Amino acid sequence: MLNKIRNIRGMKYVFEILIFLLIIFAVKTYLQRNLLDGTPPALAGTFITGQKLDSQTLQGKPYLLHFWASWCGVCSLEERSINAISKDYKVVSVAMQSGDAELVNEHMNENDLHFPTIVDEDGEIARSYGVFAVPVSYIINSKGEIAFAESGYTTEWGLRLRLWLAN
């Protein structure tokens, strides 16, 4: 009798885990519905340092194009990963609707972040890439095409693997 009760409880837990995973999959699919594939739009902007983005520097090697916001809790969980990746790969981040360059720079200094960041105060750059929720990571391959697009939290190793595969 006791074994039967344990089996029922075990099946109940397995069922609950499956439902939870199904919900996560459905939400991720919904959030990624607008993300681009193929050739991305031209990326233009000014980094928080005041330097203009030179798209020529992005050609020939894969890079991470990462959309985030200073007010996004999930984005703050990824900040350290993006910082570490920027030491080994090209990274261009876009701070979406996070204030002006001064506010974004302040956020980055407070959190000891050093990856190149473009300010997208009105969200125009993000919209051109189909980004309506953050974080979003695009891996652009050496041919300048989108190799991978991911919405939501992504691990450092997941991003590194995608960058390696895009090479």
- What would the DSSP string read from start to end of 114-134? -S-EEEETTSHHHHHTT-SSS
pLDDT for position 48: 93
pLDDT at 22: 87
**Structure confidence at residue 24 (pLDDT):** 80
Instruction: Give residue-wise pLDDT tens across range 87-116.
Output: 999 999 999 999 999 999 999 999 999 999
pLDDT for 20: 84
Adjacent-strand bridge partners of 146: 38, 140
For residue 5, what pLDDT is reported? 65
Q: What pLDDT score was predicted for residue 84?
A: 98
Report pLDDT for 148.
95
Residues lower than pLDDT 70 in the chain: 1-6
Give the pLDDT score at 8. 74
pLDDT score recorded for residue 120: 95
> What confidence score (pLDDT) does residue 150 get?
92
- The pLDDT of residue 4: 67
Question: What local confidence, expressed as pLDDT, does residue 36 receive?
Answer: 78
Q: How far apart are CA 79 and CA 7, in angstroms?
A: 42
Residue 62 token pair: 């894969």
CATH for 55-166? Answer: 3.40.30.10
